[in-house]
Amino acid sequence: MEIERKFLIQKENLPDLSAYSFHQIEQGYLCTEPVVRIRRQDDEYYLTYKSKGLLAREEYNLPLTKDAYEHLCPKADGIVISKTRYLIPEKNDLTIELDVFHGVYEGLLLAEVEFSSEEAAQNYIPPAWFGEEVTYSTRYHNSNMSKGVIPPVE
């Protein structure tokens, strides 16, 4: 079960990211209902299934080989999303996953925080540098973004 809250971040509010570890991510969607995603994260490859949901939804990851990923990538529908994901330690042993998007969504900054329970998610008070919460908006699901649902950031 994936339980997460999502927030938009304004560039001027960003902390210094040079101190944090990060991953280079590329992902495409073979299907968006249900969500079937392929992802390259650094040198690892995955096929992911996600159920419907906003705050909480089922998620299953299966390993892929590089060859399988490269075979499936051209079959992805729409935009293949590219982003750098920074891992920022947060209070209560949580981690902020800050996605800095590239390509068509260059300039979009989206923070996600995952929780062990819906109660913990509901009780979370985000840091002051977070912007608008978009947890309950499907607009910022990467699967919808792959369809060009939100306009590119200028």
In Å, how far are 49, 115, 128, 151 from 94, measured between CA atoms?
Answer: 24, 7, 16, 31
- pLDDT given for residue 148 in this prediction: 85
- pLDDT given for residue 1 in this prediction: 86
What is the C-alpha to C-alpha distance for residues 154 and 97, in angstroms, rounded to an integer? 23
- pLDDT given for residue 151 in this prediction: 56
Identified catalytic residue from 20, 29, 60, 69: 29
Domain extent listing, the chain: 2-145
Whether domain 2-145 has CATH 2.30.22.10: the reply is: no
Three-class secondary structure of residue 58 per DSSP: coil
- pLDDT given for residue 153 in this prediction: 53
From first to last of its 154 residues, the chain has per-residue pLDDT tens of 889 999 999 999 899 999 999 999 999 999 998 999 999 999 999 999 998 887 888 999 999 999 999 999 999 999 999 999 999 999 999 999 999 999 999 999 999 999 999 999 999 999 999 999 999 988 899 999 999 867 555 4
What is the C-alpha to C-alpha distance for residues 140 and 28, in angstroms, rounded to an integer? 15
**Residue 29 designated active-site:** yes
| Cis amide linkage into residue 152, ω under 30° from 0 | no
